[in-house]
Amino acid sequence: MSTIGQTKRTTTAQIEAMKGTRPLVSLTAYTTPIARLLDPHCDLLLVGDSLGMVLYGMESTVGVTLEMMIAHGQGVMRGAKKACVIVDLPFGSYQESKEQAFRNAARILKETGCNGVKLEGGEEMAETVAFLTQRGVPVFGHVGLMPQLINTTGGYRSLGRSDKEADKIRRDAKAIAEAGAFALVVEGTVEPVAREITQSIAIPTIGIGASAACDGQILVCDDMLGLFNDFKPRFVKHFAELAPMVSKAAETYAQEVKARTFPGAEHVFVVKK
């Protein structure tokens, strides 16, 4: 089959090589239509387990299953042609052992065709990251605030304010980078610590609630689009305000249906004589 004219997808190796060149642009994506819209503008699309909260109304990401991640990973891969696509390993799918992590990561790669997987954790997960990368699984790391550990960390808050917390995040970042991850999410980490980590490790850092000095940034696409107005974290900027637009469109639709002005003659099929 000819590949002439086809867009080449960005690889994890290319993402890693972009450190120090220009900021990397990343967003989450969970569906085919949104992936199509985001793809031309992003270096990396993350099928995040945040879909549990964003799409399914869960209180945390802990309830997300491997099957959910694979289904949405498949959807995003149908819509993304250019961006590097990474799929989250959900809670419970990799912490038991490095062998369990490999089995589930391999399943994600095989069933979605994505470029790699993301997992949360620092020093305690370094052996697993090395095990995966040595066996052909590209790994996107994640340190700082780790949503999958929310039941043990006491809630969503910025980390690194104490010397103890800051030192732990530094050690975690160093361990995951040295284990072979191609890039690293730094989440919910105070600015000076995130900046220091970015300068001290050889792989790109992707910040969310971290520092403008990170090698790239990521946001949940629904937050970026202003689809949630009930709560807005400090690190989120609404680049659009779609929530009121969606609500207004639904209101107008309901009014026209009730008034029988929709569908109009141009919206129905007639028998031609």
Instruction: Write phi, then psi, for 136 (nearest 5 degrees).
Output: 90, 15
81 is in an annotated binding site: no
Q: What is the pLDDT of residue 15?
A: 98
Provide the pLDDT for residue 6. Answer: 55
Query: What's the CA gap between 19 and 216, in Å, rounded?
Result: 9
The yes-or-no verdict on residue 65 having pLDDT over 60 is yes
Residue from 124, 187, 191, 266 carrying the catalytic annotation: 187
E strands, 67-166, are 84-88, 116-118, 139-144
- pTM comes to 0.93
Among this protein's residues, is 187 annotated catalytic? yes
| pLDDT of 7 above 50 | yes
Cα-based angle 45, 87, 84 (whole degrees, multiple of 5): 35
- Mean pLDDT estimate for the chain: 94
- Smallest CA-to-CA distance from 225 within 208, 209, 250, 242 is with 242
| Fold topology of 12-241 | TIM Barrel (3.20.20)
Q: pLDDT tens for residues 175-200? A: 999 999 999 999 999 999 999 999 99
| pLDDT reported for residue 49 | 97
pLDDT (mean) for 259-265: 96
Residue 168 marked ligand-binding: no
Q: Do you find a cis peptide bond into 192, omega within 30 degrees of 0?
A: no
pLDDT at 21: 97
* 251 annotated as ligand-binding: no
Q: Percent of the chain, pLDDT > 90?
A: 87
**Is 50 marked as a binding-site residue?**
yes
Find out whether 120 is annotated in a ligand binding site.
Answer: yes
Say if residue 236's pLDDT is above 90.
Answer: no
Residue 3 confidence (pLDDT) above 50: no
Tell me what pLDDT residue 112 has. 98
Q: What pLDDT, on the 0 to 100 scale, is given for residue 243?
A: 95
**pLDDT tens digit sequence for 76-120:** 999 999 999 999 999 999 999 999 999 999 999 999 999 999 999
